């Protein structure tokens, strides 16, 4: 697949370790109710400022991603996969769970696994001790 034309793309305007904002208002972030000695988040390091993806609202973006146990991938405007890894920094006692939040200003989505009514979508990859 060739590169999409700019009018069919959304561009990353803000990128931090655990949040991405696109020029069309779409926002990706991680959510976790943390305990004292842990930090669980989705690492959006591959979504640098200027990265372009096919234009999408929240429901369309959810359809574009491939969800794995420890993160998700999505293809950019050049059809190159980008990986968002769930990460967990802790002392080994606490949960490694973290959720993805997709918002477009009108709709907020927090995807779950099939049959899951609550809890967090991803199990963060253990990265280091506190």
Residues 7-64 have pLDDT tens digits of 789 999 999 877 999 999 999 998 877 777 777 788 898 899 999 999 999 999 999 9
End-to-end CA distance of the chain: 43
pLDDT band at residue 1 using 50, 70 and 90 as cut-offs: very low
CA 34 from centroid of its chain's CA atoms? 18
DSSP string computed for 73-116? EEE-TTS-EEEEEEEEEESSSS--EEEEEEE-SS-EE----TT-
Supply the mean pLDDT for the chain: 83
Maximum alpha-carbon separation in the chain: 48
């Amino acid at each position: 697949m060739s590169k999409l034309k700019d009018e069919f793309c959304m561009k990353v305007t803000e990128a931090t370790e655990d949040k991405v904002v696109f020029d069309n208002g779409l926002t990706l972030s991680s959510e976790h109710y943390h305990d004292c000695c842990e930090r669980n988040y989705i690492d959006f390091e591959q979504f640098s400022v200027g990265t372009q993806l096919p234009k999408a609202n929240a429901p369309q973006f959810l359809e574009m991603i491939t969800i794995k146990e420890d993160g998700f991938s999505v293809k950019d405007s050049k059809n190159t996969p980008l990986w968002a890894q769930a990460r967990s920094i802790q002392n080994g006692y606490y949960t490694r769970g973290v959720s993805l939040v997709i918002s477009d200003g009108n709709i907020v989505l927090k995807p779950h696994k099939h049959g899951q009514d609550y809890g967090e979508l991803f199990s963060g990859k253990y990265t280091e001790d506190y």
